[in-house]
């Protein structure tokens, strides 16, 4: 609106030029981006520029020679009273009246929120001859302000989440270690042993909340900490599915992947992208309490588009239109869980220059479409013995020990693959053996002996580095440890001992 006024003022200051070139003012008038109308002293429209027609949704012919007040209703935001354009022009003479965020109700039924500016135009005798009415559409401004407010909310929540998660995780680790040590020293199937197991199960549930808080913390990092790199979408999807598949399988929820060959890389942060997918899978699972499927598929890539779209489709209960409009708000949830999942996704994707679109139907499921900027670069491949590309495999039937090991390694930026049975571990090993640096196996699991799994892995690959772990004493475990095992770790895990073992076994000497 200010730019429109400045242009008109600059134009009107050079009267001689306008007199000699009457088309100059008309050209400027027609090309102003704000809606500008010229009305006479009675408030009757004499001229309106093309921007006015676009904003009001009417033609110049339908407005011309008609009182502006009869065609639109202008409502004051402070008291909801009507504003008369004609009265303001008569009162203000050559001064300018500005009113922010007024509501326009057009006779055609269209409604707009605009900033209003009215300037009276007087003749040489000081008599009012008419006025300029300028409407500045603030739709984009409001959207920008909402985006800034939303970003500040996410950053504030992220900062608080970081400190809470850090302290909470330390306390949980201590509780879990002591409870696990206690359960190992008690006779199974006794009341005290069962109580210790309940403590372990509870800390595992609490650790899931810590994971979500850490995701929120990463999503809420400031723009100065924003990391964007070339990322393989396929790898991120596969890693997220590997993290979730076994957990969701117990809830009768299964994954189906429909990803075309030759998918381009995208511009994002790998760890935050995995967090986004993880949150989308959790939301999908929450919508399917009786089981169902999660399909991950991608559109064929169009090289002219420079964007890659991936859809996550669930067969859950779906959402109403009202819920869909609110699901990306911070702390909004459709159930009793802590509702930050979709706000994390939206915030991260928009910071990478992408967008998300949610469609849903009651009882028909929900589809979340992520559109991300495609990268022309290939992901830099590293040698197979590069530790940044390797993972540690943890095999344990106790979720608390798996959570404890994950916390230790991920804090050191080391990737982790988990399995809760020998059969699952062998299946993972067959697919990804070249990407596993160390196997840490529980020596005495409920259904099978860890020694059996260690022997099977070393039969398939004699060079594999296998470490057995147990809450029982080292002397007892020696009787069941395979002679080829590279080491032993005492439970509960101590970070220094675990990392010392890791560094010793991954030394390239």
Residue ranges in 393-480 assigned as alpha helix (H): 399-410, 422-432, 450-460, 474-478
pLDDT reported for residue 259: 80
pLDDT, tens digit, 9 for 90 and up, residues 290-304: 889 999 998 766 666
Judge whether 96 and 1 are in contact, CB under 8 Å.
no
The pLDDT of residue 370 is above 70: yes
Instruction: Identify whether the C-beta of residue 449 lies closer than 8 Å to the C-beta of residue 443.
Output: yes
* Secondary structure in 3-state letters for 52-91: HHHHHCCCHHHHCCCEHHHHEEEECCCCCCEECHHHHHHH
Confidence of residue 380 (pLDDT cuts 50, 70, 90): very low
Q: For the residues 112-126, what does the mean pLDDT come to?
A: 82
Q: Of residues 158 and 50, which shows the higher confidence score? A: 50
So what's the pLDDT on residue 217? 63
What is the per-residue pLDDT across 225-247, written as a single tens digit (0 to 9) for each? 567 888 888 888 888 888 778 77
d(CA 9, CA 21): 16
Assess whether pLDDT exceeds 50 at residue 40.
yes
Mean pLDDT for all residues in the chain: 78
Tell me: the pLDDT tens digits for 325-367?
Answer: 777 766 566 554 444 567 778 878 888 889 989 999 888 899 9
360: helix, strand or coil: strand
Does position 69 have pLDDT exceeding 80, yes or no?
yes
Alpha carbon 21 to its chain's center:
55
Residues 6 or more apart whose Cβ sits within 8 Å of residue 424: 246
Given its phi and psi angles, is residue 413 left (phi above 0), alpha (psi -120 to 50 degrees) or beta? left
The pLDDT of 372-395, averaged and rounded, is: 66
Q: Please report which confidence band the pLDDT of residue 385 belongs to, taking 50, 70 and 90 as the band edges.
A: very low
pLDDT of 384 reads: 39
Nearest by Cα to 37 from 12, 13, 58, 11: 58
Which letter, b or e, does each residue of 122-131 get, where b requires 16 or more Cβ atoms within 10 Å of its Cβ? eeeeeebebb
Least confident stretch, 44-53, 255-264, 313-322: 255-264
Give the list of residues 6+ apart from residue 220 with CB closer than 8 angstroms, or none: 154, 155, 156, 157, 158, 159, 161, 162, 347
pLDDT > 70: percent of the chain: 77
pLDDT at 313 over 90: yes
pLDDT value of residue 202: 81
| Backbone φ and ψ of 198, nearest 5° | -65, -35
Q: Where are the alpha helices (DSSP H) in 191-328?
A: 191-219, 233-249, 270-286, 321-324
- CA 451, 455, 456, 457 dihedral sign is positive
**What pLDDT is attached to residue 465?**
87
Mean pLDDT over residues 120-140, rounded? 81
pTM surpassing 0.95?
Answer: no
Query: Quick check: 395 pLDDT over 50?
Result: yes
Per residue in 404-456, pLDDT tens? Answer: 787 788 777 788 888 878 888 888 888 788 888 898 888 777 666 677 888 88
Nearest 5°: phi and psi at 57?
Answer: 75, 30
Q: Whole-angstrom Cα distance, residue 36 to residue 62?
A: 16
């Amino acid at each position: 609106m200010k730019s429109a006024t400045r242009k008109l003022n600059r134009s009107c200051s050079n009267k001689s030029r306008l007199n000699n070139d009457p088309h100059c003012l008309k050209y400027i008038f027609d090309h102003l981006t704000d809606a500008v109308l010229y009305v006479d002293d009675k408030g009757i429209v004499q001229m309106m520029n093309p921007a006015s027609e676009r904003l009001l949704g009417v033609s110049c012919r339908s407005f011309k020679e008609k009182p502006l007040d009869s065609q639109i209703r202008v409502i004051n935001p402070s008291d909801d009273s009507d504003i008369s354009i004609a009265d303001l022009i008569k009162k203000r003479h050559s001064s300018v009246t500005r009113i922010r965020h007024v509501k326009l109700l057009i006779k055609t039924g269209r409604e707009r929120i605009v900033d209003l500016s009215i300037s009276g135009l007087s003749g040489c005798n000081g008599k009012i001859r008419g006025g300029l009415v300028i409407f500045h559409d603030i739709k984009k401004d409001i959207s920008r302000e909402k985006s800034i407010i939303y970003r500040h909310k996410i950053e504030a929540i992220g900062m608080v989440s970081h400190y809470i998660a850090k302290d909470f995780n330390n306390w949980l680790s201590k509780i879990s270690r002591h409870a696990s040590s206690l359960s190992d020293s008690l006779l199974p199937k006794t009341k005290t042993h069962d109580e210790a197991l309940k403590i372990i199960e509870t800390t595992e549930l609490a650790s899931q909340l810590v994971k979500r808080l850490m995701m929120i913390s990463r999503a809420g990092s400031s723009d100065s900490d924003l990391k964007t790199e070339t990322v393989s979408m396929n790898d991120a999807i596969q890693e997220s599915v590997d993290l979730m598949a076994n957990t969701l399988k117990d809830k009768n929820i299964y994954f189906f992947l429909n990803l075309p060959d030759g998918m381009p890389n995208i511009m994002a942060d790998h760890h935050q992208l995995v967090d986004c997918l993880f949150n989308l899978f959790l939301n999908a699972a929450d919508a399917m309490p009786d089981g169902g499927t999660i399909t991950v598929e991608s559109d064929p890539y169009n090289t002219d588009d420079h964007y890659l779209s991936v859809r996550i489709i669930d067969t859950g209960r779906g959402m109403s239109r009202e819920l869909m409009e609110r699901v990306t708000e911070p702390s909004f949830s459709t159930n009793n869980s802590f509702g930050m999942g979709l706000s994390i996704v939206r915030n991260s994707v928009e910071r990478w220059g992408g967008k998300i679109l949610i469609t849903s139907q009651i009882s028909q499921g929900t589809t979340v479409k992520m559109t991300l900027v495609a990268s022309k670069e290939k992901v830099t491949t590293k040698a197979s013995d590069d530790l940044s590309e390797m993972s540690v495999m943890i095999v344990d039937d106790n979720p608390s020990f798996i959570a404890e090991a994950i916390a230790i390694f991920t804090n050191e930026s080391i990737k982790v693959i988990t399995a809760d049975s020998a059969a699952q571990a062998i299946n993972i090993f067959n697919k990804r053996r070249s990407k596993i640096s160390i196997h840490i196996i529980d020596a005495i699991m409920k259904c099978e002996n860890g020694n059996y799994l260690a022997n099977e892995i070393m039969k398939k690959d004699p060079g594999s580095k296998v470490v057995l772990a147990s809450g029982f004493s080292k002397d007892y475990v020696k009787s069941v440890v395979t002679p080829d095992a590279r080491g032993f770790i005492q439970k509960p895990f101590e970070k220094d001992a675990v990392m010392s073992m890791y560094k010793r076994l991954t030394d390239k000497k």
